[in-house]
Amino acid sequence: MADHKAFTLPPGDGAKVCVGGGAGFIGSHIAKRLKENGYKVTVVDWKENEFMKPDEFCDEFILADLRKLEVAVKACKDCLQVYNLAADMGGMGFICSNESVLSFNNTSISMNMLEAARRSKCRDFFYASSACVYNEAKQEDPNNPGLIESDAWPARPQDMYGLEKLYSEEMALAYGRDFPLNVRIARFHNIYGPRGTWKGGREKAPAAFCRKAITSKKEFEMWGDGKQTRSFTFIDDCVEGVLRLTFSDCDVPINLGSTEMVSMNEFGRMALSYDSKDLPIKHIDGPMGVRGRNSNSKLILEKLEWEPTVKIIDGLRKTYMWIKGEIERERKDGNAADFSTSEIVVQVDDSLMALGNDESTV
């Protein structure tokens, strides 16, 4: 591996920054790092963080709805930088069954955060995009050679979540061309780690696999045939990459992901290995996503002289041990739920109706 360029996060010296969606998994970790380095961090989110107290990751916490422009404008006031991590999202068990709601919510949030940053005369704007933007035709082979940034065009993402991300990328780039706003965009590849959602249907594969490996006794349940492949990026690498990018002169979207790719069968075996379990894998019907997805680091190495370094076996172990502790706490509190299975989240319109303060029609 080539030597990486040294990076020191510039001291904040009290400069104000806003992290939209900063109570979420990735946003809270970025906000925490910024606060620790002397930035005055405002977090705005429509939910509170399950695993951190607000004073651990921000100086001001605004519990409000970023689908309302006035909320975004208030949060971004006097900010030097804006980081938009806000999105209504989850794993495949959520994305595949909630496309309409996700499209409405995330388009509203993305538009409002950009416009709020412009009105507040912010210097820098970071947008969290996703590997879901890539053309589905480029992801039909499990032996994926690695998606390069130009593979997003012509556009044909697998779902509306990816299409909204791609549109929001273009909208952010347009703002960067039309106004004095430094726009930076990273396409995340399956970010995982401790202190993130691990149950309830919105969790992603790493957390779901850890949860099931910990609690399964007879067999390990998996959606699909397990031959689909992915790369996974540990949260520490994600935070480092976001900050390196935001303080760089790279003005094009880049992949932020590990290039270590595994099949879901291999990934499941890793999760089972931490407690030396050797259970049969039970393949069942369920949403699988694309057949093969891997990151490509050529552009990030060119632009930032850096790429993610944490190996899956090491990052997943940390995630596993943290989730194991969470499950033990749940059991002590009397929660006897079956954590060995995953669920698909049925689409409801409660978040849409909340904008009009009406009851859900579902």
CA angle 54, 58, 61 (to 5 degrees): 65
Q: How far apart are CA 164 and CA 36, in angstroms?
A: 32
Q: What torsion, rounded to 10 degrees, do the Cα atoms 31, 316, 310, 232 define?
A: -80
C-alpha–C-alpha distance, residues 358 and 362, integer Å: 12
Pairing relationship of beta strands 81-84 and 16-20 according to DSSP bridges: parallel
Q: How would you class 298 by CB atoms within 10 Å of its CB: exposed for 0-12, middle for 13-18, buried for 19 or more?
A: middle
The catalytic residue positions are: 161
At residue 251's C-alpha, the angle toward residues 247 and 178, to 5°, is: 110
Q: Which helix (H) or strand (E) holds 237?
A: helix 235-246
CA separation for the pair 115, 131 (Å, rounded)? 24
Contacts of 342 (CB under 8 A, 6+ apart): 93, 201, 203, 208, 212, 221, 223, 286
- Angle between helix 99-119 and helix 160-178 axes, rounded to 10 deg: 10
Considering Cα of 81, then 256, then 30, then 75, what sign does the dihedral take?
A: positive
